């Protein structure tokens, strides 16, 4: 008799351009000790399901559930704004939680409200706001994704001044005049690994202020190690720093590379923030079953 291989059910979501795999792991279909390797395999584009990240739902005694978020390199992160919205909609669609819910994570308790494809998450207050950080960036090494010709790249050290804040995960916010010309990958990679942010590194947001209620953003994401179409925690970080530096006012419309806008709302008292929330789409793209081929290929 042929043995039927173990299959793992999942759903795929898109949150403003970030795509995530969500797995209900309340019955431990994936061993917690093997999660990192599992994620790195399953999130690999072309060879498996492919995604920016993977989210596991687990049991929680004092909330509707607990979530664990992993970047696609297999590294666990404390928070992801777009991922939080997607896991909330997953929980509602699967009957795990009502439209208004609470779920626990490494960054604290998140409250969410599901309204069709739109989800609002109320997030823990930001921490570690540091303004006017000056970073010296040496000429960056050419990467496969850097299309700049050698003759066009600077050979001198450049200084960048930006601002840091932790919105569940660390971000460095750098304001530019034209987001379309920002060297997100080359410079973002250098800042991500800069001495000032070791050992964990940081996400890097390039931000253009359009008006008092709108900003555009492009993000180099730690863990993905590339520019992504959107970043929820980056949207929050950029809106809050823009409120301090450029007097942007709540609610702020944040337009990422995907052009799928998110809204960041907050209450500001000087350089302190409270009642921070993020609203945006959390589209359920498809659901299915993964065969062992999806995660075992790296072991062969």
pLDDT, tens digit, for every residue of 26-85? Answer: 999 999 999 999 999 999 999 999 999 999 999 999 999 999 999 999 999 999 999 999
Shared domain check, 110 and 239: no
Q: Tens digits of per-residue pLDDT, 213-270?
A: 999 999 999 989 999 999 999 999 999 999 999 999 999 999 999 999 999 999 999 9
Q: Is residue 122 part of a domain?
A: no
Strand partners, 23: 56
Q: The domain containing residue 182 runs over which residues?
A: 127-279
Average pLDDT of every residue of the chain: 92
* Number of independent structural domains in the chain: 2
| Cα–Cα dist 133/152, whole Å | 27
Q: Which of 42, 43, 77, 80 is catalytic?
A: 80
Higher pLDDT: 6 or 283? It is 283
Q: What percent of the chain has pLDDT over 70?
A: 92
Report whether pLDDT(145) > 50: no
- Of 40, 51, 231, 290, the active-site residue reads 231
The answer to the question of residue 178 being in a domain is: yes
Q: What local confidence, expressed as pLDDT, does residue 144 receive? A: 44
Whether 96 maps to a domain, the answer reads yes
Name the token pair of 42.
């399953």
Q: Which runs of E-coded beta strand occur in 181-255?
A: 203-211, 214-221, 226-228, 252-255
Distance CA 257, CA 241 (A): 19
- Average pLDDT value for residue range 271-300: 92
In a domain, 288, yes or no: yes
Residues 72 and 198 in one domain: no
The H helix count followed by the E strand count for the chain is 5, 18
**80 assigned to active site:** yes
Whole-prediction pTM: 0.89
The pLDDT, as a whole number, for residue 4 is 53
**Is 231 among the residues known to form the active site?**
yes
Q: Residue 18 sits in a domain of what CATH number?
A: 3.10.310.10
Whether 101 and 131 map to the same domain: the answer is no
């Amino acid at each position: 008799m042929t043995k039927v291989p173990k299959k793992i059910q999942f759903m795929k979501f898109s949150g403003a351009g970030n795509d995530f795999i969500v797995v209900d792991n309340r019955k431990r279909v994936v061993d917690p000790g093997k999660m990192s390797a599992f994620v790195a395999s399953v999130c690999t584009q072309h060879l498996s399901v492919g995604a920016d990240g993977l989210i596991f739902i687990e049991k929680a005694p004092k909330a509707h559930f607990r979530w664990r978020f992993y970047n696609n390199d297999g590294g666990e992160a404390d928070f992801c704004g777009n991922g939080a919205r997607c896991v909330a909609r997953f929980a509602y669609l699967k009957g795990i939680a009502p439209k208004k819910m609470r779920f626990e994570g490494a960054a604290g308790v998140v409250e969410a409200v599901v309204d069709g494809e739109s989800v609002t998450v109320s997030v823990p207050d930001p921490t570690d706001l540091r303004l006017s950080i000056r970073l010296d960036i040496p000429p960056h090494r050419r990467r496969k994704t850097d299309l700049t010709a050698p003759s066009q790249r600077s050979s001198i050290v450049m200084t960048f001044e930006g601002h840091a804040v932790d919105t569940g995960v660390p971000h460095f916010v750098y304001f530019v005049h034209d987001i379309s010309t920002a060297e997100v990958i080359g410079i973002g990679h250098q800042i991500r690994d800069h001495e000032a942010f070791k050992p964990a590194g940081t996400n890097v947001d390039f931000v253009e202020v359009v008006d008092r209620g709108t900003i555009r953003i492009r993000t180099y994401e730690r863990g993905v190690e590339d520019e992504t179409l959107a970043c929820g925690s980056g949207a929050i970080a950029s809106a809050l720093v823009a409120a301090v530096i450029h007097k942007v006012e709540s609610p702020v419309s944040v337009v990422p590379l995907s052009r799928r806008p998110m809204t960041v709302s907050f209450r500001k008292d000087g350089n302190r923030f409270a009642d921070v929330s993020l609203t945006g789409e959390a589209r359920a793209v498809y659901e299915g079953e993964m065969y062992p081929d999806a995660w075992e290929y790296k072991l062969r």
